[in-house]
Amino acid sequence: MHIKECIVSAPGKAILHGEHAVVHGKVALAVSLNLRTYLRLEANPTGKIGINLPNISTFLSFDATALQSPLPDRTADSRNAKELDVDLVARLRGFIGVTDSNSDTSTMAVLAFLYLYMSVFTESGELPGLTVTGSHRPPPGDLEHTARWSSEEMELINSWAFLGEKIIHGNPSGVDNAVSTWGGMLRYHAGKITPLSRVPMLRILLTNTKVPRSTKVLVAGVKEKIDKFPSIMSPVLESIDAISSMCQQTLNEMASEPMPEHYSVLEELMDINQHHLDVLGVGHPSLATLCRVTLGRGLHSKLTGAGGGGCGLTLLRPDTDPSAIHSATRELKDCGYDCWETSIGAPGVQQHSRSSVKEEVLRFLNH
């Protein structure tokens, strides 16, 4: 491998509206968050593959020669990331000892990385030494510039990211990887993902209640309730669908000229949707606390994602009193929650460098 160092980053992602309803054919809006994950790749002359993920307390090292045995026998095109090689996944699961009982976040992240790493270098037949370090903070030192990817390169990045999602989540929608690749906002409906070009940069407070939950169990619970009370729950799903569409329309208008009434509409939509999500059965006392604490400061919140705990979003107007944000954050942290003030609509995947190395990066990606 000729590249000495490569630094890339991608934004986080949240569902603005439409969670759970999207499973039943309704519209969902997904947005990028300006909370980025940075990945630094460095050539390792010792021939080892190092994986350093401090945010999930993962520090591993493998000998490249030991990984040769699970290397696919066939010669594959590393630029074709359309199909998951289930045999390679199974062999790698055995190599690092993944079982149903220990398939936690860190283990599955390592599995996904090793799969992508080995797939990219299948053609060469030899695995180069590489150290990968992931962090929510940029690497130390000044990053001189950001290079732009072509549309073809973005499609390739998204395709590989989607395979990583399939390894970790089984049958993902493709929304998460698409938002992190392209950034901004995406409209997801019945399997079709549509990027929205006019998205204002909105400030939010992201709160993690740190209450664990099972997305699979919550989704199943919503389906059970819909099956039991179809005449009651169907209108709720239709209303959530209308909320997503009205939010999209409002954001489109705001992109031209944000007005106070736009924020009022967005706040009401968040309140209504949160009530609907409670009706669907995916609320939680921790999320009710978030809504109560923020509403006491004139701020409006809703859950984002599966619910049952997890994370919530709070909309911040441009003229929101900083003391209101500070006091709400302090009270939420006293509850044991984590809070980050950030924004939605952040740029997608980016390449950073301390010098101009784009050609080397592209050779590495396309190998």
What confidence tens digit (pLDDT) does each residue in 258-275 have? 899 999 999 999 999 999
Neighbours of 157 (CB within 10 A): 21
**176 labelled catalytic:** yes
Question: Is 331 inside a domain boundary?
Answer: yes
- State the pLDDT at residue 80: 63
Q: Tell me, rounded to whole angstroms, the distance of Cα 174 from its chain centroid.
A: 10
Which of 100, 142, 176, 278 is labelled catalytic?
176
Domains of the chain: total: 2
Collapsed DSSP state (helix, strand, coil) of residue 17: strand
Collapsed DSSP state (helix, strand, coil) of residue 309: coil
What's the CATH number where 184 sits? 3.30.230.10
- State the pLDDT at residue 356: 45
Same domain, residue pair 139 and 212: no
Same domain, residue pair 23 and 152: yes
- State the pLDDT at residue 363: 55
Instruction: Give the domain extent around 263.
Output: 200-343
Report strand pairing: 48-53 vs 130-135. parallel
Same domain, residue pair 91 and 240: no
What's the CATH number where 311 sits? 3.30.70.890
Same domain, residue pair 19 and 151: yes
What confidence tens digit (pLDDT) does each residue in 178-190 have? 999 999 999 999 8
Q: At what angle do helices 175-182 and 151-169 cross, to 10 degrees?
A: 150
Type of residue found at 17: H
User: Which range among 10-19, 75-84, 149-158, 225-234 shows the weakest confidence by mean pLDDT?
Assistant: 75-84
What confidence tens digit (pLDDT) does each residue in 147-165 have? 778 889 999 999 999 999 9
- CB contact at 8 A, 150 and 181: no
Neighbours of 203 (CB within 10 A): 16
Cα torsion 92, 62, 71, 362: sign: positive
pTM for the model stands at 0.83
Give all strands (DSSP E) within the chain, no chain letters: 5-17, 28-43, 48-53, 58-63, 130-135, 145-147, 185-189, 192-196, 203-208, 300-304, 311-316, 338-343, 350-353
What confidence tens digit (pLDDT) does each residue in 277-306 have? 999 999 999 999 999 999 999 999 999 999
**pLDDT band per the 50, 70, 90 thresholds, residue 332:** very high
- State the pLDDT at residue 1: 44
> Which of 326, 287, 329, 363 lies closest to 19 in space, CA to CA?
287
Same domain, residue pair 205 and 139: no
Is it the case that residue 75 has pLDDT exceeding 60?
no
Same domain, residue pair 224 and 337: yes
